[in-house]
Amino acid sequence: MRKEHWICVSRQKRVWKGFVAVLLLLLPCGLVAGSITQWRMPDVEKAPVLVVGHVGSMRREFRVPQGTVRWHAEVWVMRAEVTVLRSFAGLGGNAPSAGSHVDVRFLAYAENHAFVNGPPPLAFLRAGDTVLIPLLDNPEPHAQPWRLMGVEGIGLTIPARGALFRSAVNVNTGRQFILRELANSLAEGTPEEITAAAGYVHDQSENLTPELMPLLQGAIGNEGQRWAEIEVGLMGISRPTIEDLRAGGWRDSNWNPSVDHGYSIASLILKRLAASPDSHRWVMRAIVEKAAFFPESASFLAQDYAPDSDLTGSLHAALKERQPGAIYLACVLINEGQRMWVPEALASAQELLKTRPRTKHTRVEDLDRSAARSLLAEPTQTGG
């Protein structure tokens, strides 16, 4: 049976027969359109094999016949080549070695879908990403592709980064492997990598403070700006104020108030930062820097501190240096009544629209251009 499960696509009938059998085993029994599976650390840590890898080339293999899955959408079997950076084998697992290349099969929709009252999100890989991937065991890794631990849902893969600088931590379990990777991203990552890892922590139901904080303290020490970046990452878009978090015990009353969401870690970080007179400036700078890759979240947080001199100074520098997301952030503040930003935002908008967009422009660059056009279209309404 196993040999028939994953064979070359040229023998597609046999491939499909085996694939359907595996697919039906993986799908939740009660799966219906609109339901969403949430994978969390206690689920992922049980995977037979955990791999941190860089996702390279990707190709479609064949379309899943209609009526096989329990939702109505065009679904394809995908095959991604993954370069293994680090790996861990759980009970019964046989992990690929670092430096090797493995093929991983998963499902993907043919086009983007809205998942409210629609098909559920599929667990997928994206070319160019570095992620922690939970895999089922593969008894024939040289002959057959690997399979994701699950077919659908969110949170199955975990954000990671390529280099592992803090490698002195011993790993004996899948959970320790995941925690080490999260600590590595938070302690050593770029602001964007920090935000991705902090977002994963935010999505967990359990309080990770006892396990994660010792790793972070050993890796970061007294590097205040790094702690501030993690703090802003954990604040997400639910907007607890710094005062809320400093008081401790803050919970989001509108979204699972019984869940920690990483706020206990955020409170401890604030207590650690309190000893430095620069701590507030570091946090405000991190909020503005976040606009370069997550402008919506940055704009939510900035609205709580718009008159703050440290935030004002950071945004002024970001506009002057033409940081991506800065015009969008200024435009949001103007729409919220912070008219002091009108002259400087208009000047930046004019400069931006004099340049042609790059061939490969980002979503944030598109938001900046849209905000710039909005500012220039109605200067009298914005105070210009």
pLDDT per position as a tens digit, 148-184? 999 888 899 999 999 998 666 789 999 999 999 999 9
Q: Looking at the predicted structure, is the pLDDT value of residue 384 above 50?
A: no
What is the three-state SS of 217-238? Answer: HHHHCCCHHHHHHHHHHHHCCC
pLDDT recorded at residue 26: 40
Structure tokens at 330: 């200024």
pLDDT in tens, 272-327: 888 788 998 999 999 999 999 999 989 988 988 878 899 999 999 999 999 999 99
Whether the per-residue pLDDT at 9 is higher than 80: the answer is no
Chain-centre distance for alpha carbon 20: 30
Widest distance between CA atoms in the chain: 72
Angle at 155 between CA 159 and CA 73, to 5 degrees: 120
Between 111 and 325, the more confident residue is 325
Measured CA to CA, the distance from residue 253 to residue 259 in angstroms comes to 10
Residue 285 CA to residue 338 CA, distance in Å, equals 18
The residue written with tokens 């997301």 in the block is 325
Q: At what angle do helices 309-320 and 326-335 cross, to 10 degrees?
A: 130
Q: In this structure, how many other beta carbons lie within 10 angstroms of the beta carbon of residue 32?
A: 10
Distance CA 157, CA 54 (A): 12
pLDDT of residue 172: 92
The domain spans of the chain are 1-160, 164-276, 290-384
- Give the pLDDT of residue 105: 93
SS3 118: coil
Angle between the 342-354 and 309-320 helix axes, to the nearest 10 degrees?
20
Q: By C-alpha distance, which of 153, 154, 152 is closest to 23?
A: 152
Position 72 confidence tier, pLDDT thresholds 50, 70, 90: confident
What is the reported pLDDT for 157?
A: 95
Average pLDDT, the chain: 83
* DSSP SS3 for 44: helix
- What is the CATH architecture assignment of 1-160? Beta Barrel (2.40)
- Residue 142's contacts (CB-CB under 8 Å, 6 or more residues apart) are none
> What is each CA distance from 171 to 119, 132, 277, in whole angstroms?
37, 15, 37
Q: Is the pTM of this model over 0.95?
A: no
What proportion of the chain, given as a percentage, has pLDDT over 70? Answer: 83
CB of 144 closer than 8 Å to CB of 29 = no
pLDDT of residue 313: 94
Residue 99 has pLDDT above 90, yes or no: yes
Q: Which of 176-190, 236-250, 320-334 has the lowest mean pLDDT?
A: 236-250
User: Residues for the chain: how many in total?
Assistant: 384
pLDDT for the residue 168: 65
Q: Which amino acid would we find at residue 294?
A: F
